[in-house]
Amino acid sequence: MKEKKAKKSGFFSLLSDSIQLRFYRKENFEQIGSINLSPRSIYIVLSSTILVLLLLVFVLLAYTPLQRLIPRLSSIENATKFVELSDNLDQIDAQIDAQATYNSALRKMLTGDENVDFSNVDIIGMNSSPIEPQKSTETEAANLIVAEEAHEKRLELETGSIFDDMAAVDFYTPISGIISADFDPQLEHFGVDIIAPSDTPVKSIRDGHIIISEWNIETGHTLGVQHDNNILSFYKHNSALLKEKGDFVKGGEIIAIIGNSGRLTSGPHLHFEIWHNGKPVNPNDYINLKNE
């Protein structure tokens, strides 16, 4: 018993005893300094250092991107982002499909297969911008309102409930001249041919975006403009095109120069078409194209 007590007293006395570290020069063993330490102070310093390090690691893992190093937390975050990205990709794919269908229909019409129905093309979906991940309740509510308005707009376009009367729409005259061929759907002539002097500028009939600006063997230098209210206008056989695909043009703005390009022409003139809700209409019913 006495030996055990002696050992215990010796251990505790060791913790309380001071230890002096002395430092000497190697050359002459001259003392240059000393430090007084005790096992207890060393223990306190080491314990405090370890606690501070543990606290720092916790803060870094809990409140910084380093939390992704924790498998469970990173897997939950990645799964959420994956679902958002998947939904956005589905919507983008749908928009791309709508754009491809629309372009295909226009291209067929311009190359001879003009009896094409645009009524099933989702123009609203085609023109909408890619949807970004929603970041707040307010953003979500705003997106829902925009989606509802777009849906109502598409229904109106599909049912023809707006601007059924084309006479209510104001148009600029694309070019004035002598009409050499009238609108005749039975002969698959879906526009009018207008003869005018060489180098006469061709103007857009209404504000819109250029959706076609190209040359093809049938109609030569051709422009197509998408206007509001599901109206399309086409300008064919030009000698030069002044606008590119994607450009926005104002009504009355010069977009081309009259010409004689393409196989389906026998002299300088403009072949001009208007389409509404996917169907060709007679331009003479809405625009005065003759010189007076």
Higher-pLDDT residue of 163, 58: 58
Q: Which two tokens stand for residue 110?
A: 């311009």
264-270 mean pLDDT: 82
Backbone angles phi, psi at 213, to 5 degrees: -150, 90
Nearest to 267 by CA among 203, 181, 190, 183: 181
Summarised one tens digit per residue, pLDDT across range 114-146 is 455 555 554 444 444 444 444 445 565 566 666
Share of the chain above pLDDT 90, in %: 26
Q: How far is CA 140 from CA 72, 91, 123, 144, in A?
A: 28, 16, 23, 6
In this predicted structure, what is the pLDDT of residue 47?
86
Summarised one tens digit per residue, pLDDT across range 161-205 is 444 567 778 899 999 889 988 999 888 899 999 999 888 999 999
The region of weakest confidence among 103-107, 244-248, 267-271 is 103-107
pTM exceeds 0.75 for this model: no
Check: CB of residue 289 under 8 Å from CB of residue 193.
no
In this predicted structure, what is the pLDDT of residue 183?
92
Summarised one tens digit per residue, pLDDT across range 70-94 is 665 555 566 667 677 777 777 787 7
Check: CB of residue 162 under 8 Å from CB of residue 148.
no
Long-range own/partner contacts, residues 133-140 (CB < 8 A, 24 or more apart): 133/84, 133/85, 133/88
Nearest to 234 by CA among 196, 198, 191, 289: 191
232-236 mean pLDDT: 94
In this predicted structure, what is the pLDDT of residue 149?
63
